[in-house]
Structure 1
Amino acid sequence: MGSTSTRNNGEGLGRRDLIKRSAALGLITVPTMSFLSACASGSDDSGSKDTSKGKVTKDNPFGVAKNGKLEVVVFKGGYGDDYAKAWEALFAKKWGTKTSHLGTQEITGKLQPRFNGGNPPDVIDDSGAQQIKLDVLFKGGQLLDLQAVLDAPSVDDPSKKVSETLIAGSTDPGLQGGKVVSLNYVYTVWGLWYSGKLFKEKGWAEPKTWDDFLDICKKAKAAGIGGLAHQGKFPYYINLLIMDLIAKTGGLDAMKAIDNLDPKAFVGSDAAKKSIEAVYEIVDQGLLMPGTNGLTHTESQTRWNQYKAAFIPSGSWLENEQLKQTPADFDMKFLPVPLLPGSKLPFEAIRAGSGEPFIIPTKASNKAEAQEFMRLMLSKEWSTSFAKEANSLTILKDGVDPSVKLRPGTQSTVEAVKAAGDANSFNFLYPNWYSEMDVAIQNASNELMSKRIQPAEWLKRAQAAVDKAAKDPASKKNHRA
């Protein structure tokens, strides 16, 4: 997911991704049957209106014609859309292309009718709270297989394929049925965040254990500050904390059990039980920032920026999203989720991976331009441009010119990624594979944080969502080894 403002989260995150960036209670629903039916009508490229007739060469692997057209739609959330406008200007300068741009948070509202009508845009950043669910689009044959882009020569080093220039595993979140059908472009880190200034003033040390984390929350409460703020109207965010705690407590096997729809992914999982009980302890002890359950992402984050809470969960789009609300001396810092006793992963372990899914519809009118645009996204020039405009990293290895100075929060994520290394970096895939299951777990988390259900009931509801997803024959195509 991208994030609701990046999500899947995200991200984000599914940043979005994550967010990145991402699904959110109240703003997303399971797609209607009319949309499902409409998606099912387009099964391959046969309906394409692509009219590009350029000559195919090593420098022009998709045969882009001069003076063509390209329509780009991006989710205007935590990263804004200035980065895309900069890209489009570079593309137009190179190819003389007439580009059409839309930055919006209403992805479903703006684009669902166009998918239904068979005339979608060429390149889409399908993220945010109103993301059109990738698994639904894939089942309807609406997503172009991006393998040709990954197999194309790298812009920076034509002796290498594009895929050989990317961070290991960064294309995995784009898998549906064994095919890469979305390019999760932003390299996102998910976890907790705090103010370096506040911690210095209070004499608080960065907590590495759950007990130390709770202790700071209690000290914050005693000082008239909330312990944990979360984006209550969008339970995608609190799920970042819950799911990361499960993964760190039970190890990668606990994570894979959820992605692989194990009949004991939640009910019967000691790691899940310990983790959800630990998170509920924050609620039960009154350590939440007052009112946070009823706030949107920006409302909670802004109050956090006003020093009304010690911690908040989010993806690494947070800094850019809060630029206008963050005091100059706030000193934003990233914190890996602290450990419960007996955790199988170390404190340094983080959920890190690609978020912000970019897609090319099978019925895009200008697929050659769209594929070349995506190939150029994975060049150092365009990756550096993104870092400058959006204060975030991309999935391109060493993709940012070292002369670019990063903001404190972004720099702290760079340090966290280095500390974790490949061995201690993990990422969940179920939000992209099983959107209905993701929403059901988010809804359960919303009930838990509002104290309307207890941990045992949360586990039952989460497991029921897993069991329902497992009954779908299409789920057999998705598996993590």
Structure 2
Amino acid sequence: MTHPGEITRRQLLRRLGFAALAAGPGAGLLSACATAGGGDRQAAAPATSIAASADPRNPFGVDAKKPLEVTIFSGGYSDAYARELHQEAYKKAFPGATVKHNATQQISTQLRPRFVSGDVPDVVNNSGPESMDLVALAEQGHLADLSVLFDAPSVDDPGKKVRDMVTPAVLANAKIDGKDLVLNYTVSHRALWYNAKLFADKGWTLPKTWAEFTALGEKAKAEGILLFAYPGQKGPYYQLWNVLYTAAKIGGNQVILDIDNLVEAAWTAEPMKQAVTAWVDIQTKYGDKSYFGLDHTQTQVKHLQNRLLFYPVGSWIENEMAKDKPRDFEYAIAPIPDVTATDVMPYGAIQVGVGENFVVAAKGKNPQGGLEYLRIMLSRDGARGFTEKTQNLTVVNGAAEGVELPAALKSAAKAQDAAGQNIIADARFEGWYKELFDHGTEQINRVMAGRITPDEFCANMQKKADEIKNDSSVSKQTRSE
């Protein structure tokens, strides 16, 4: 089953222009403010709307001399695309304007005090392990309404709206409490990643069943190679994703839908228990606890050194590790092997979704400029330039046509082709219920390190989910597919 937040290979590649190929979450921002005083939850503040202008070249009525401030998460995509491409395009459109650029990996730490004080940047790339709680921001009226952006004329063709130039997954995932408040800019594939050249040299084939997976683990162990490595101190949510996607493979996407909808006993359902147990067993038999002391980048360097076979991450990995990647390493995607003989989703199912959140601060000094900045990002030049600089795909239709893709994305395209309609659902609770997701990263650390059992992990997660479900101060979101 494919839900609106996901895209099939045909949709992705056709809309991105691959005719020839027929080719992330942080501290709960302002949570105390959002729930101060107890009692029923604070009603969501109305999203700030910017009136549309009649000028298709300046549809938001941007003051051409007003400064713009942009904060970018400098992670796997770095921040050069923003500095050298999107911000330069903005200054070209408005020569009298200055653009203040801020790059950080500590989004919440840096911006939380500024949102409290009211001195906020106009555009925020809300990503990484310290991303902000967007639901809390929405409740306090901090997020500008992006419906005017989606309904604005596109930069490339004033006869078409921006919403007509992007994959529908963008629109489906833009909503908080029914309002268009978030722009997801990238398309990513999350699965297990490995070195295709190493496998070719060894004559190894990808394991399709869990028995084959563990048998390969024995072969690798004999050569001093780990089958799998935990993604370190800063990447526990990578493994949380991995467990969730494994549970969906076992029990179908309804497993994740139930978790997102805070359904009773969703976390203690049998597919979740089986998934956690399977990965804890892999860590115990074929992992190395010393990796818990590393950060995710250090673990990824060891992956490049062929110290481990499989690593759970997304398709941004090649760009993130470009400076360290040796010539004899070729990133390729591996679907999760069949865990049981009765997995609902067949071998080859992978997760494909949109991500990399951008928001415009409704209470910033230049929200009109913020909207225009996003419109420039969603132009074909803006999107194509992003792909060229980061070697990752955007959500803009046709923008990547003709761009030479790295091995990782070519592999992801083939994997998506093989998956067909068997696309694993993304878990939206990480954005809807930040406290639950943060609790999940803590608990996955504990269970993978052997400090709690898989049953205790599931029970602890269910307890937290129930607390959130029963807390009237927390805004509830729902999804049907």
TM-score past 0.5 threshold: yes
What is the count of residue pairs matched by the alignment?
450
Identity of matched residues, %? 33
Asked whether the equivalents of residues 178 and 478 of structure 1 are also in contact (C-alpha less than 8 Å), the reply is no
Q: Which residue of 1 aligns with 2:104?
A: 104
Task: Kindly provide the amino acid, as one letter, of the partner of residue 121 in structure 2.
Answer: P
Q: Which residue of 2 aligns with 1:196?
A: 196
Task: Kindly provide the amino acid, as one letter, of the partner of residue 459 in structure 1.
Answer: C
Q: Helix, strand or coil: the match of 1:357?
A: strand
Change (3 A) 1:180 1:289: farther
CA apart distance, 1:272 = 1.2
Q: Which residue of 2 aligns with 1:125?
A: 125
Q: Helix, strand or coil: the match of 1:170?
A: helix
Q: Work out the CA distance in 2 between the residues paired with 1:129 and 1:36.
A: 23
Q: Which residue of 2 aligns with 1:456?
A: 455
CA apart distance, 1:301 = 0.7
Structure 1, gaps ≥5 residues long: 1-20
Pairing of 1:14-163 with structure 2 (within 5 A): 21-23=24-26, 28=27, 33=32, 43=45, 56-85=54-83, 86-96=85-95, 97-163=97-163
Q: Work out the CA distance in 1 between the residues paired with 2:31 and 2:262.
A: 24
Q: Work out the CA distance in 2 between the residues paired with 1:423 and 1:193.
A: 19
Q: Which residue of 2 aligns with 1:303?
A: 302
Change (3 A) 1:418 1:170: farther
Asked whether the equivalents of residues 441 and 465 of structure 1 are also in contact (C-alpha less than 8 Å), the reply is no
Change (3 A) 1:214 1:170: farther
Q: Work out the CA distance in 2 between the residues paired with 1:368 and 1:306.
A: 47
Pairing of 1:184-223 with structure 2 (within 5 A): 184-223=184-223
Q: Which residue of 1 aligns with 2:19?
A: none
Task: Kindly provide the amino acid, as one letter, of the partner of residue 250 in structure 1.
Answer: G
Task: Kindly provide the amino acid, as one letter, of the partner of residue 78 in structure 2.
Answer: G
Q: Work out the CA distance in 1 between the residues paired with 2:137 and 2:364.
A: 14
Asked whether the equivalents of residues 190 and 314 of structure 1 are also in contact (C-alpha less than 8 Å), the reply is yes
1:355 aligns with 2:355: yes
Q: Which residue of 2 aligns with 1:13?
A: none
CA apart distance, 1:222 = 1.5
Change (3 A) 1:231 1:444: same
1:256 aligns with 2:231: no
Change (3 A) 1:423 1:464: same
CA apart distance, 1:423 = 5.3
Change (3 A) 1:247 1:170: farther
Q: Work out the CA distance in 2 between the residues paired with 1:241 and 1:69.
A: 42
Task: Kindly provide the amino acid, as one letter, of the partner of residue 169 in structure 1.
Answer: A
CA apart distance, 1:45 = 6.8
CA apart distance, 1:475 = 4.2
Q: Work out the CA distance in 2 between the residues paired with 1:217 and 1:376.
A: 47
Q: Which residue of 1 aligns with 2:169?
A: 169
Asked whether the equivalents of residues 69 and 99 of structure 1 are also in contact (C-alpha less than 8 Å), the reply is yes
1:381 aligns with 2:381: yes
TM-score w.r.t. the length of structure 1 is 0.88
Asked whether the equivalents of residues 335 and 347 of structure 2 are also in contact (C-alpha less than 8 Å), the reply is yes
1:399 aligns with 2:399: yes
1:292 aligns with 2:295: no
CA apart distance, 1:414 = 2.5
Q: Which residue of 2 aligns with 1:471?
A: 470
Q: Work out the CA distance in 2 between the residues paired with 1:56 and 1:116.
A: 35
CA apart distance, 1:74 = 0.2
Q: Which residue of 2 aligns with 1:335?
A: 334
Asked whether the equivalents of residues 469 and 475 of structure 1 are also in contact (C-alpha less than 8 Å), the reply is no
Change (3 A) 1:226 1:108: same
Q: Helix, strand or coil: the match of 1:84?
A: helix
Asked whether the equivalents of residues 247 and 255 of structure 1 are also in contact (C-alpha less than 8 Å), the reply is yes
Pairing of 1:316-335 with structure 2 (within 5 A): 316-335=315-334
- The CA RMSD measured in Å over matched residues stands at 2.5
CA apart distance, 1:292 = 1.4
CA apart distance, 1:307 = 0.8
Structure 2, gaps ≥5 residues long: 1-23
Q: Work out the CA distance in 2 between the residues paired with 1:318 and 1:140.
A: 35
TM-score w.r.t. the length of structure 2 is 0.88
Q: Work out the CA distance in 2 between the residues paired with 1:155 and 1:422.
A: 32
